[in-house]
Structure 1
Amino acid sequence: EAAAPRQSVVRRVAASSELVQNVAELAGIFSCLEEAFMVYSTRKAIAIDELMEGSRVSSVVEDVFYVLRKCARRAVATGDSDCACSVVNHVCAVLSQRLYVELEMRVGQIGRNKERTLDLTREAQYEGLMEALAEQWPMVEGSDDAVNTSSASALGASAMDLSTVSLGSAGPGGVDHSVLGDGSGGMSSTISAEAAFWCLSVNNVEAAADNVATVKATLEEEVRLVFDDELESAKLASCIAELDTVRNDFKKRLQTGMTKLCASLSPRLRSALGVMDGASAIVKYELTEAEFADNDGFNPFVHEFLGALERILAPHAAVLSPALFRTMVFKVAGYLAKQIK
């Protein structure tokens, strides 16, 4: 008990010493330099963004988080809680005000027509990513073939009468529908480079949200190893917890982007439902006994309809991440269930 007052006195004396004041001043300068470095590096990463070979995300996410993770860990390693808190706050600010804004702008392009308002530099950058997508993925059409998605030709293909398309043999084994289950089906159709860019954009948002969680876990472990004082650890934990807010913002934007991406498919999905009624209907509501018996083994509506869905969804399996492709399939299934009902 007697040691506690002495420790308090020592801390007050140390806090007023010239050495501690110099350390605080240096920590402030260090924090400002780290902030400037992170802002510049993020701006540069956005400017030189490119599609990485064999990847479903562009380079901006990896480049930005590499720098931010290094800066945050370096600040924690100083052992100065004020310095570490300051840099962690800068990390949150850069993610929210720089990277999030950029990715939000890209997701905002989903479903828009060609008459969008972007500066020439950004327009050229997006076109470059579209060309890279067309070169890397064979099912992606060149950017020059991109269509005005405000019309019924959303996602790079006209809303056609899919009941007239040959889907293989007339038997149950004529069409591979595995794409509807796990995204591994054959690529029997194409999407525009612009639509592939939309997929790339939501992939980037998903990757950013995952990276925020990784950075948070890394910093929590670093703090546990470096700081013994409970008050300092609690102060840092409070700052690091702000990363949860940043991650939630990315996840909300991801949900919005996926909703818009699936909505852009609706013209072609409605066309696929044309096999049920209208001039191109193949569904018969009055069956003979022989036709009724045949339907038990081979239902023409099911096979034609699933084949049409494969043509619409299969190209996205290569461009979207597996998790997002499954999300797309579930959303499309829900939409079609409502339309059929």
Structure 2
Amino acid sequence: MSSDITNQISAGMDFLSSADLILKKTLTTVPSGRPRRRRPSKDKGETKEDVDEDDQYISGILQELRVELDVKRREEERLQREIADVLTECASGSSGGEQSRAFGMAVSRLNNAMLVVEADAKQLAASLRTISRLADNISGKVSALDVAKTRVVECLQLAGDMHDLGVCSEEVDQCINNEDYEQAAQHIHRFLTLDRAVFQFSSAADKEAGQSVSHSYEILTNATARLKEILERKLEAAVDTDDVAAMQRFVKLFPLINEHDSGLVRFGKYLSRQIAKIGEDNLKIMNAGGLDDKRVEVLYADTMFLFLEGVAALLETNQPLIESSYGPDKLLDFVNMLQVDIDQVVGKVIDAFERKRQLEKRVRAAQKILRDDKNVDKGEERLDALELDPVLSEICLMNTHTEMYWRFVRRRIKGASKGEKQEEFVMVNADDFGDLDEEKKKQLEQEKVRRKEERERKLDQLLNRSLVGSKMQELLGNYILLEQYYMEECVRKAIDMDVREEGLLSSVVDDVLFLVRKCVRRATSSGSVDCVCAALNNGVALLETTFYQYLFGAIQSGYPSTNFAAEALQTAQNAYNVIQHGKATEASADIQKESFLTATNNARGTADLLLELRKGLEQEWRKTQRSEIERGKLDNAASQLTDLSRKMHHLASLGIESLCKTIFRPKLKSSCDAYADINHTLTDNQLGEFEAVDPFIEQFNANLDKQIAIFEPVLHKDNFQTLLLTVCGEVERQMERVIMKCTFNRLGVESLAGLLGNDVLAWRRLWLCSMLRMSRKLWNFERQQRLPRLLGYSLHRMQSKFFYSGLTCLQLLSRSSICEWPGFVHNCNLFGF
């Protein structure tokens, strides 16, 4: 037993010795690095500092590695000592034998388990090798089957093609001789769609079959050329005799023999002749002056409409034939072929319009006037705007008819493209049979994208680069120029003929805005979004310049002063005019007053009407379906009306401020100065008298109400509200200036609250709010500590009148300046603010 323990201990020590040897081999010292190469002597001085830094860095790293290595070695020695102590204790102790037996049994069980695992692993490896050989065998057989299947399919297809080739070669001549051209075309179409592999035979075994195929190939080739010649001759004869049935019969046979262009060209001759006939009939009517004398002003627009309507009917009638036989791509090519004849007729109509309406002469005159407007007062050298009105309307109508025709063509072509369901398969290698579906889908998608791009390019070329498109673009350019001149002339006349009508606004507001609305709507009727935006831009520019300057000039002249010096000067001027001229002139001050007030009201009314104009235009535009880009253009152009409306509001506010500065400020200053003459060091009796009747506030309110009441019937509602706000602000400033100069005792401060307690008129509530805002500044003075409580008491006393008046004081008061007052916050909570 002791010998077994000794053997186990010896084996354990041998294991430890071998592990120690392995660890020593692994944890060797860090080898010395490769010695540095010597640098050239000329660089020693320049790089000495860099070399020293590198050496220090490497030395530091080596030192750290050595320290870490020593730590590991000491840990290794400690572990070895612990293992040796455990083994020694096991060998010498009483329980050493049992532990050794347990250890030996565990090792035996582990050895047996490892043997079982090894056997199972070998069995598994053998099974895997068997399965791999079987999988390789099956894969090879499946691949062979796929190849065989592909070759069988190719053979069946080749056999079928050879059979069809033989049948076609036997029957094609008979069909041609019997004038069964439809069946003959079907045979030739089948021949042209056969796989080229049918005609390739190289081995000697296929020599006989090759001779038969070659013979059939020659027969069908000759039959193709003969049938082509016959179809061309028959179609030309049908075109010459206007035999529609024969044309429809023969024209759809050309695609079967791959002669698409030949059939379209010959059939296009017939349609070109029909288009020329339609154009000639309409031109004769146009040259004769039309059929209705009432539509002479739109003669050329009606001519274009009738011609394009006839062309559209012709295309609609023949579209199914071309689309079904030739496809949507050839339909677009066919329309392009006919566009040449359409351009000729439309060009004649436009040339006649420009000649008869003297368009070029009028455009040159308008350009000269707009470029160098020096002869404003010489009416004989200017174009008559009324004469331009029917010309502009006719141009818009002509473009409308053209856009309708383009929409018809675009809808027909896109409708044919959507209905197209073609599947084109590309021949691939037979070994890729399993991937044919994915390859076909990818190739079909690429082909669809390419065709769509090509179709869009041709359609764009048809719509924008044809003679009709370029002529109409040139005509619209002239229209925009004449429309700009028309608006400027009409606005100038509206300003010259401006008169005060019943109401607060003058005639120029309605005239100018009606003119702009009319021109924009007329441009909208043309169907061109760019034309609408250009007309709207010109209208807004005209309102911002000519019309705005007209109103600004009247407002800038100001409201005439009504003080004693001004009245004396006016009386002296009237007396001088009577002495010099023998008659009195009109009161220029009254004229200036009316002009100022009318201009201020016009600015405010124009601002409101501009917003209504935008709303009305947007409602009209929403009725027509447009693209996102077109809607964006219209919205951007219409936003200028909102900007101009804000500018008009600002102009009206400037006029009201000028009115307040001229009329109210001098009188308010003198009225507020009277408050400084009142004694503010009061007794209890005097305070009671002030609370009963305050002479200053009664007189102040009466005078201010009288001054403001004068302007209520002559000012626009919004202008009058602005005047009230402006006057209240002026009262605040003047009263603040005077109160700061006064001295109050406690009772005088309480009397100051009486300024807030009198509420007779609705407008004065605004003034009370201004007084509250002004009194906030008094909060900074220690001698008026009771003022917030007094103001809060006054607000509570005025609750029923002040809060329910419909004019919220919070529109005037700033929370940041008043909400710090406890009394005010308390009463605002009571009011429900």
State the TM-score, normalizing by the size of structure 2.
0.30
8 Å CA contact 1:106, 1:201 repeated in 2: yes
CA deviations over 1:15-47 (Å, ceiling 9, x no partner) = 111121222122222222222221111001100
Q: Secondary structure at the match of 1:33?
A: helix
2:494 to 27, 45, 65: 45
Match of 2:509 in 1: 61
Alignment partner, residue 648 of structure 2: 250
Tell me: higher relative CO, structure 1 or 2? Use CA pairs within 8 A at least 6 residues apart. Answer: 1
Partner of 1:99: 547
User: How far apart in 2 are the matches of 1:43 and 1:64?
Assistant: 9
Match of 1:339 in 2: 734
Report deviation, 1:64: 0.5
Q: Is the 8 A contact 1:103 1:201 kept in 2?
A: yes
- 1:281-296 matches, cutoff 5 A: 281=677, 283-287=678-682, 289-296=684-691
Name the CA shift for 1:227/1:109 in 2 (closer, same or farther; >3 Å).
farther
- Displacement of 1:111 after TM fit? 4.6
Distance across 1 between alignment mates of 2:618 and 2:659? 35
Deviation at 1:90, TM superposition (A): 1.1
Once residues 220 and 103 of structure 1 are traced to their aligned partners in structure 2, the CA distance between those partners, rounded to angstroms, is: 27
Q: Could you say which residue in structure 1 is the equivalent of 2:535?
A: 87
Structure 1, residues 89-110: CA drift from partner, whole Å, max 9, x if none? Answer: 1111211121111111111111
Partner of 2:707 in structure 1?
312
Report if aligned partners of 2:504, 2:715 keep a CA contact under 8 Å in 1: yes
Q: Which residue of 1 aligns with 2:480?
A: 31
Q: CA deviation at 1:88?
A: 1.0
Structure richer in helix, relative to its length: 2
Q: Does 1:11 align with 2:460?
A: yes
User: Pick from 596, 599, 605: which aligns with 1:201?
Assistant: 599
Residue 276 (structure 1) aligned to one of 671, 675, 683: 675
Q: Following the alignment from structure 1 to structure 2, what is the Cα–Cα distance between the partners of residues 238 and 110?
A: 36
For 2:627, the aligned partner's letter is D
Alpha-carbon shift at residue 221 of structure 1 (Å): 2.2
1:211 aligns with 2:660: no
1:79–1:226 CA contact under 8 A, matched in 2: no
Contact kept, 8 Å, 2:604 with 2:718, in 1: the verdict is no
1:222 maps to 620
1:93-139 deviations in Å (ceiling 9; x for gaps): 2111211111111111115679xxxxxxxxxxxxxxxxxxxxxxxxx
- Once residues 143 and 311 of structure 1 are traced to their aligned partners in structure 2, the CA distance between those partners, rounded to angstroms, is 27
* Contact 2:516–2:539 (8 Å) recurs in 1: yes
Partner residue, 1:108: 556
Equivalent residue, structure 2, for 1:240: 638
Structure 2 counterpart of 1:65, one-letter code: L
| Alignment match of 2:469 (pick from 16, 20, 29) | 20
Q: Quote the Cα distance in structure 2 between the aligned partners of 1:241 and 1:264.
A: 35
In 2: Cα distance, 1:329 partner to 1:194 partner: 22
Deviations 1:146-167 (A, max 9, x none): 3xxxxxxxxxxxxxxxxxxxxx
**Aligned in 2, Cα 1:222/1:145: closer, same or farther, shift over 3 Å?**
closer
Greater displacement, 256-265 / 93-102: 256-265
Superposed, which structure 2 residues align to 1:63-212 within 5 Å? Answer: 63-111=511-559, 144=587, 146=589, 194-212=592-610
How far residue 285 of structure 1 moved from its aligned partner, in angstroms, is 2.5
The 10-residue stretch of structure 1 (12-21 or 249-258) with the greater mean CA deviation from structure 2: 249-258
**More off after superposition, 287-296 vs 41-50:** 287-296
Amino acid at match of 2:710: P
Shift of 1:302: 1.4
Q: Which has the larger radius of gyration?
A: 2
2:704 corresponds to which letter in structure 1?
Answer: L
Residues 72 and 84 in structure 1, CA contact (< 8 A), matched pair in contact too: yes
TM-score, L = length of structure 1: 0.71
Supply the distance in 1 between the matched residues of 2:588 and 2:496 (Cα, whole angstroms): 25
User: Residues 291 and 222 from structure 1, CA distance in 2 versus in 1: closer, same or farther, beyond 3 angstroms?
Assistant: same
**C-alpha spacing 1:234/1:12, structure 2 compared with 1 (3 Å):** farther
**In the aligned structure 1, how far is the partner of 2:586 from the partner of 2:690?**
43
Mapped contact 1:76–1:222 kept (Cα < 8 A): no
Any gaps of 5 or more consecutive residues in structure 2? 1-447, 563-584, 737-833
Cα offset, 1:230, TM superposition: 1.9
Inter-CA distance 4–96: structure 2 relative to 1 (3 Å threshold) = farther
| SS in structure 2 at match of 1:84 | helix
SS at match of 2:491: helix
- In structure 2, what is the Cα distance between the partners aligned to 1:145 and 1:10? 67
**Partner of 2:700: helix, strand, or coil?**
helix
Query: Post-superposition shift, 1:294?
Result: 3.1
Computed over aligned residues only, the root mean square deviation of the Cα atoms, in angstroms, reads: 2.4
**1:9 positional shift:** 3.2
The secondary structure found in structure 2 opposite 1:232 is helix
Letter in structure 1 aligned against 2:587: D
CA contact (8 A) 2:653 2:722 kept: no
Quick one: distance in 1 between partners of 2:670 and 2:452? 78
Please name the residue that 2:6 is paired with. Answer: none
Is 2:660–2:727's contact at 8 Å kept on the other side of the alignment? yes
The aligned counterpart of 1:127 is none
- Do the aligned residues in 2 keep the contact of 1:268 with 1:312 (CA within 8 Å)? no
Find the aligned partners of 2:692 and 2:593 in 1 and give their Cα distance.
37
Identity %: 26
Partner letter of residue 49 of structure 1? Answer: D
1:196 offset after TM fit, Å? 4.0
Q: What secondary structure does 1:264 align onto?
A: helix
Which of 250, 267, 281 aligns to 2:666? It is: 267
CA 1:89–1:255 in structure 2 vs 1: closer, same or farther (change >3 Å)?
same
Verify the 8 A CA contact 1:58 1:204 in the aligned structure 2: yes
